[in-house]
Amino acid sequence: MVRAAVLGHPIAHSLSPVLHRAAYAELGLDWTYDAIDVTEAELPGLVRGLDATWAGLSLTMPLKQAVLPLVDHVEPLAEVVGAVNTVVVQRGGARPTLVGANTDVHGIAAALAEAGAGAAVGADDRGALAGLGQPGEVGSAVVLGAGATAASALAGLAHLGTTASTLLARSVARAGGTLRAAHRMGVDTTVRTLAPVDRALEFIRAAPVVVSTLPPGAADELAGALVRASLPVRGVLLDCAYAPRPTALVAAWRAAGGRAVTGERMLLHQAGEQVRLMTGAPAPLAAMDRALTGALDAGARSATTR
């Protein structure tokens, strides 16, 4: 039996098992995929225990940077971004080779492309993503947040043609790692504080593309300010959070006349790229999408009956 899993802390909320299990079933693979609660302190022991029965791991917070020194090889894109959300177990030698990869970048770029921000991104475009920073049509962007997902957002935006970005961070002091990643990508990036929200609104209303990497609920104050302002927005928003459906920020953005794509689209596409890397087969995105929609709909019904 071949195994795979998603690791994080906490992890019970993860929809990765829904996506991966649907993919394996569609591909006819008798694989298992579990959600395992793992802290940073516990991660080295688990990684050391990976053997030839494993195909790979998905990693969520707070493990995307902690895993970097634990793998045998880091793919160039993940190295530039400074975050690994996927470990591929390459079998065949005396011991498996662990390769760290980043599929968040692909997920962000593909989700934005669905909403019309830049050229379409397909599963075979991963090599292009590693190039980063090609001139294109997006121009400039605003990223909310300054953590590992924000660095992936900068890389995805660079692929779509962004030449300059502004980070709106809750803590400017914690943005150093993301700014260093932006420098490695060659993306001109400035960082500003997310507060006060009225000032932040000036940046996001004028931006052609906005990506929120803030955790669920953290953008609600900004969403409220957008509603109170009663002013139009002109760009495309990707909110990487996917609960509630829609998030307050997505609802406010759409009410202001903007196009918005929800975090479930990023989740789908990054998981699809993980499936491709682990199995070697094209991801069955349609089957994965159906399973994801069903799980989200079931969760919404459950929430209304509590």
The average pLDDT across 97-114 equals: 97
**What residues are labeled active site?**
64
Cβ burial 72-82 (10 Å sphere, 16+ → b, else e): eebbebbbbbb
Reported as a pLDDT band with limits 50, 70 and 90, residue 116 is: confident
Output phi, psi for 155, to 5 deg. Answer: -70, -40
| Res. 304: pLDDT tops 50 | no
Token pair recorded at residue 209: 């593309």
Q: pLDDT tens digit string along 146-182?
A: 999 999 999 999 999 888 999 999 999 999 999 999 9
Looking at residue 268, what is its pLDDT? 98
> Do the first three CATH levels of 2-102+267-304 and 105-264 match, i.e. the same topology?
yes
- Asked if residue 201 lies in contact with residue 225, where contact means CB atoms within 8 angstroms, the answer is yes
CATH (residue range 105-264): 3.40.50.720
The average pLDDT across 70-96 equals: 95
The average pLDDT across 59-75 equals: 97
- Asked if residue 252 lies in contact with residue 227, where contact means CB atoms within 8 angstroms, the answer is yes
> Domain 2-102+267-304: which CATH class?
alpha beta
Cβ-based neighbour number of residue 131 at 10 Å: 12
Cβ-based neighbour number of residue 69 at 10 Å: 10
Segments making up each domain of the chain, as ranges: 2-102+267-304, 105-264
Share of the chain above pLDDT 70, in %: 91
Looking at residue 132, what is its pLDDT? 38
Q: How far is Cα 253 from Cα 223, in angstroms, rounded to an integer?
A: 8
Q: How far is Cα 154 from Cα 152, in angstroms, rounded to an integer?
A: 5
Looking at residue 130, what is its pLDDT? 42
Q: Where are the beta strands (DSSP E) in the chain?
A: 2-8, 31-37, 54-59, 73-74, 86-90, 97-101, 139-144, 162-169, 188-193, 209-212, 236-239, 259-262
- Asked if residue 238 lies in contact with residue 261, where contact means CB atoms within 8 angstroms, the answer is yes
The average pLDDT across 14-30 equals: 99
Q: pLDDT tens digit string along 197-219?
A: 999 999 999 999 999 999 999 99
Measure Cα distances from 184 to 6, 127, 169, 188, 202 in Å: 28, 17, 20, 10, 28
| Res. 306: pLDDT tops 80 | no
Token pair recorded at residue 83: 């975050």
Q: How far is Cα 233 from Cα 67, in angstroms, rounded to an integer?
A: 39
Q: How far is Cα 199 from Cα 219, in angstroms, rounded to an integer?
A: 14
Q: How far is Cα 146 from Cα 194, in angstroms, rounded to an integer?
A: 11
Looking at residue 124, what is its pLDDT? 38
Higher pLDDT, 168 or 234: 168
Looking at residue 299, what is its pLDDT? 82
Looking at residue 163, what is its pLDDT? 83
- The amino acid at 180: R
